[in-house]
Amino acid sequence: MSLFTPQTGATAPECLTPEERMQAIEDLLRLRRQFSKLDMGEGTLREFAHAPRSPEECMFAQTTLNISADLKTKISPCQFGGDPDCSRCGCMGSMALAAVGHHALPGGLTLGRIFRASAHIGKLAARFHHRKQC
């Protein structure tokens, strides 16, 4: 399950108010204990209250390549395309990876910091490789 992710400025009935979003999170936290089919970690559900502010901060957006049904057209900046309102993101994949990213290893280092460092090194290596090819 996911919550609705609107585009920036959207006001459709599907858009949750901040209060409705918090109520949905609290309801899901309660219901997951009652119904085993709602198999979601508490940390993942709590991430809905602190969605990434932009696709650049979203591990899911940074680790996925989204392609249209024609198998040619790239969808960006994330699977929702256009100008998604990341502050109201309802994507389960985004929240699950955010929860993983906030997981602290012994010594306090988070998996998210390791991911960001790895992504940065990958971008530097790609630039170096591109320059070498030219």
Does residue 134 have a pLDDT over 80? Answer: no
- Using the structure block, give the residue that is written with the tokens 């940065």: 120
Helix (H) / strand (E) element for 12: namely none
The predicted-structure confidence for 73-85, as pLDDT tens digits, reads as follows 999 999 999 999 9
Give the pTM: 0.84
pLDDT score recorded for residue 101: 95
- Given its phi and psi angles, is residue 107 left (phi above 0), alpha (psi -120 to 50 degrees) or beta? left
DSSP state of 61: H
pLDDT score recorded for residue 11: 94
CA distance 113 to 134: 32
Does residue 1 have a pLDDT over 80? Answer: no
pLDDT score recorded for residue 133: 78
The predicted-structure confidence for 100-112, as pLDDT tens digits, reads as follows 999 999 999 999 9
Helix axes 92-101, 111-133, angle to 10 degrees: 100
pLDDT score recorded for residue 19: 96
